[in-house]
Amino acid sequence: MELKATSMGKRLAQHPYNRVRLLPAGVDVSGDKHEYLIPFNQLLNITCKRGLVWGELEFLLADDKVVRLHGTEWQETQRFHHYLMQSWQRWSLEMSDVCHEVLHALRLDIEGFSEQDRWLKRSESGDLKEKILKQFDALPLPLSRLNEFENLREDAAFCQHWLEQGEAALAQRNRDWTAKIRDRYHDFFSTVETSPLNPAQCEAVVNGEDALLVLAGAGSGKTSVLVARTGWLLQRKLATPDQILLLAFGRQAAEEMNERIQSRLDVSDIQSRTFHALALHIIREGSNKQPIVSKLESDVDARQKLLLTHWRQQCDEKKAHANGWRQWLRDELEWEVPEGAFWQDDRLAKRLASRLDRWLGLMRMHGGAQAAMIADVPEAARDLFSKRVKLMAPLLKAWKSALKEEGAVDFSGLIHQAIAILEKGRFISPWKHILVDEFQDISPQRAALLTALRQQNKRTTLFAVGDDWQAIYRFSGAEMSLTTAFHHYFGEGDRCFLDTTYRFNERIGDIANRFVQQNPHQLRKPLNSLSKGNKKSIALLPEDQLEPLLNKLSGYAKPDERVLLLARYHHLRPDITEKAKTKWPKLKLDFMTIHASKGQQADYVILLGLQQGKEGFPAEARESIMEQGLLPQPEAFPDAEERRLAYVALTRARQQVFLIYDKMQPSVFVDHFRELGVPVLRKA
């Protein structure tokens, strides 16, 4: 069947199309020079209009595209439109049956996916979204027409909702599922640790994403969550003990985790390991070698003696090296360097020993050749860094010779070897679940080991527990961005917050949280306390009030309540502690550096040394070009890591924090605390 424009209509309309032909499943609109084939599956609507003289047909396509035919005789136009609509609607009804089958099956798939008794992952939701899009693309009817058909309306709306609201719908579904699971496994969550888990802890434990970052504020029960997560994997038979890998950063932390798992879960065949112990295991299994860790790694004195011996020899034998070292120490570090054979000066050598040790450690951690180290440094610093690396090169060579002579490897070498074995496929990871404690302390080297493990077993989940607010080990190679940009490095997943602290009161928490979050690079997160505290729960006090304060505490602190003195450096331990045992024999008083206090808690915390200057807090930057070149780049915010260090100090306290400051040269932090509403007391 065909409709043509009249001769007059064709001449006057001056339109590219002047005839239309009905096809079995479409229309062919054409003119003398143009033709447009419109299949019914691309057609959204057909409109018949009457002009002043002639008729007009309008075909609406996707993206609001319109194809028009003008200049046709009106009655013929009406008749053609009637038959065309009958044909199009008949075809549409037939196709709606096909669509119904597809959409109903798709809805059943979505419902089946949603109704599974497990956590649904974002990656799976993405796969489902792809499937919906693929099925929609294969439908014979345009999506915008599905709502016209009663047999399609409900299924189409359901599928469309999952397509448009997929992430939100998935999150809501997982929240609903988690609530049901908490009720069903109430006994487990109530007894797996000494205290019942709170809702946020439960949500972290059952979250089944492939890469999950659990941000655990100070005192929020991160160890409880790690233990409960392990128990949950076993309880739900998501893993056998040999498929679970727990990682800690120190031997003591690993041992404490093992004891906790043994006592709470009654499981002895899951062992928490350090990264170095893990690397040893991989090397043994993947190479049939039994590497020995060098004794130098655990003997600081022997290590520094080795480095100083070779440093002195280097300066003795090569004048250029001696001149290079003189320039480095004098110009960059601003040290007073004696004339003549300065390398024989014991005082200077003793001062330098720890620096040599640190620089060599950073070079070993990098693991690359000199050229690679130099290439990784920003161009502006490359020339100076290159000179320093060349001065350090003989010490690195001496270190490697000492290891070879001992037949041993160092810690950095262990991890590099383990990564190489994994990348060559000589060890296939048996672990389905990797759980990492104190994740904020992770270095790029350790992160590379985790990545290599997960590449060996693509189904391996990473459950990382940490707190970027407590990232205080950049000096040893830790990179905070591995936590703050977790999913960039470790893939798609989720982030949970442990939002309740069981340690400090609301007043301490409010000041500490606002203080650390003044740095915009820190992740924003809630951290609520169970007790209120009062305005004096945290207070500033002049340094001459330290002894009166301890006198006062000795009067009202209970025998089992701990008082913790904290300072930036160990050598800042106040003399008053020497007489504490006799002057206040019943006062449970301890002193330690803030770094050493990580993981500790006390009823009363006294933070010392809030002053400006060389021994002040925040500490002045003391990095040489070696640290700048080999350590992760710090965030562009003044005293960022020192601020986190102060946060760690504040959050050791259960009841009260006293900030001891120098009235003559107060630290910049003193003003920051005052602005946050911390009261300044004249007397203890």
For residues 103 and 219, state if they share a domain.
Answer: no
Comparing C-alpha atoms, which of 115, 126, 3, 20 is closest to residue 67? 20
- Residue 15 is predicted with a pLDDT of 74
Quick one: pLDDT at residue 187? 96
Q: How far apart are CA 308 and CA 313, in angstroms?
A: 8
Check if the beta carbon of residue 506 is closer than 8 Å to that of residue 533: yes
Provide the CATH number for the domain around residue 89: 2.30.29.30
Do residue 141 and residue 243 come from a single domain?
no
The residue among 113, 188, 215, 142 whose CA lies nearest residue 468 is 215
| Rounded-to-integer distance, Cα 445 and Cα 478, Å | 9
Residue 260's nearest CA partner among 219, 223, 294 is 223
What whole-number distance in Å separates Cα of residue 440 and Cα of residue 249? 11
CA distance 682 to 672: 18
* Domain shared by 550 and 403, yes or no: no
Unique residue bearing structure tokens 């449970």: 588
Q: How many C-beta atoms surround the C-beta of residue 635 within 10 A?
A: 15
Structure tokens at 81: 């439109």
Predicted local distance difference test score (pLDDT) of residue 456: 86
Strands 45-50 vs 55-60: parallel, antiparallel or unpaired: antiparallel
In angstroms, rounded to a whole number, what is the distance separating the alpha carbons of residues 656 and 580? 20
**574 within some domain:** yes
In a domain, 506, yes or no: no
Helix (H, G, I), strand (E, B) or coil at 659: strand
Q: In the predicted model, what is the mean pLDDT of the chain?
A: 93
For 618-634, what is the mean pLDDT? 89
Query: Is there a single domain that holds both residue 246 and residue 195?
Result: yes
Angstrom distance (rounded) from CA 583 to CA 539: 24
Could you tell me the pLDDT band of residue 18, with boundaries at 50, 70 and 90?
confident
pLDDT digits (tens, 9 = 90+) for 567-580: 999 999 999 999 99
Task: Work out the pLDDT band at 444, boundaries 50, 70, 90.
Answer: very high
Helix (H) or strand (E) holding 352: helix 346-366
Residue 428 makes CB contacts below 8 A (sequence gap 6+) with 456, 457
Examine the pLDDT at 174 and tell me if it is beyond 90: yes
Secondary structure element (H or E) that encloses residue 191, with its range: helix 186-191
pLDDT for position 10: 75
| DSSP, residue by residue, 249-289 | SSHHHHHHHHHHHHHHH---S--EEEHHHHHHHHHHHHHS-
Average pLDDT over residues 62-69: 90
Q: What is the pLDDT of residue 288?
A: 85
Does one domain contain both 485 and 620? no
Residue 528 lies in a domain: no
Confidence tier at 32 by pLDDT (50, 70, 90): confident
DSSP 291: -
d(CA 587, CA 608): 18
Total count of domains within the chain: 4
Cα separation, 644 vs 519, in Å, equals: 9
Q: What is the pLDDT of residues 350-377, one digit of tens each?
A: 999 999 999 999 999 988 788 988 998 8
In a domain, 241, yes or no: yes
DSSP 409: B
Phi, psi dihedrals of residue 530, rounded to the nearest 5°: -90, -20
Whether pLDDT at 13 is above 70? no
Q: Cis link prior to 618 (omega < 30° from 0)?
A: yes
Closest CA to 572 of 674, 503, 649: 649
Yes or no: say if 421 and 284 are a contact pair by the CB < 8 Å rule.
no
Is residue 545 scored above 70 in pLDDT? Answer: yes
The answer to the question of residue 146 being in a domain is yes
Residue 71 has pLDDT above 90, yes or no: no
CA distance 328 to 335: 9
Residue 137, domain member (yes or no):
yes
Q: Using an 8 Å Cβ cutoff, are 681 and 630 in contact?
A: no
Q: For residues 341 and 285, state if they share a domain.
A: no
- Beta strands (DSSP E) in 628-677 are 653-661
User: Over 90: is that where the pLDDT of 553 sits?
Assistant: yes
Q: Are residues 465 and 551 in the same domain?
A: no
Q: Which of 572, 515, 561, 507 is nearest to 536 (CA)?
A: 507
Q: Is residue 414 part of a domain?
A: no
Dihedral sign (CA 236, 239, 242, 248): negative
Taking Cα atoms as reference points, which of 354, 355, 352, 332 lies closest to residue 343?
Answer: 352
Confirm if 8 and 65 have CB atoms less than 8 A apart.
no
Tell the residue number behind the tokens 């050749």, with chain if given: 369
Angstrom distance (rounded) from CA 595 to CA 476: 12
Indicate left, alpha or beta for 237 from its phi (over 0: left) and psi (-120 to 50: alpha).
left
Residues 555, 670, single domain; the answer is yes
CATH number at 441 reads: 3.40.50.300
477: left (phi over 0), alpha (psi -120 to 50) or beta: left
465: CB partners within 8 A, 6+ apart: 214, 216, 222, 225, 226, 435, 436, 437, 438, 439
Q: Is the dihedral of CA 494, 499, 503, 505 positive or negative?
A: positive
Q: Are residues 35 and 149 in the same domain?
A: yes
> CB within 8 A of 594, min separation 6: which ones?
472, 566, 567, 568, 607, 645, 646, 648, 649
Same-domain pairing of 542 and 613: yes
> What percent of the chain is modeled with pLDDT above 90?
85
Q: Looking at the structure, tell me whether residues 158 and 197 fall in a common domain.
A: no
129 burial (CB, 10 Å; 0-12 / 13-18 / 19+) is: middle
Mind giving me the DSSP string for 22-80? Answer: EETTEEEEE-SS-EEEEEGGG--EEEEEE-SSSEEEEEE-GGG-EEEEEEE-HHHHHHH
* Residues 91-150 pLDDT 10s: 999 999 999 999 999 999 999 999 999 999 998 988 999 999 999 999 999 999 999 999
Question: pLDDT by residue (tens digit) across 249-270?
Answer: 999 999 999 999 999 998 888 9
Q: What is the distance between the alpha carbons of residues 681 and 684, in angstroms, rounded to a whole number?
A: 7
Q: Which of 84, 22, 19 is nearest to 48 (CA)?
A: 84
- 3 state SS for 574-633: CHHHHHHHHHCCCCEEEEEECCCCCCCCEEEEEEEEEECCCCCCCCCCCCCHHHHHHCCC
Range of the domain at 133: 1-184
pTM: 0.88
In eight-state DSSP terms, residue 119 is P
29 belongs to a structural domain = yes
Q: Are residues 209 and 96 in the same domain?
A: no
Domain-terminating residue out of 132, 167, 184: 184
Q: Are 486 and 117 in contact (CB under 8 A)?
A: no
CB 643 within 8 A of CB 604: no
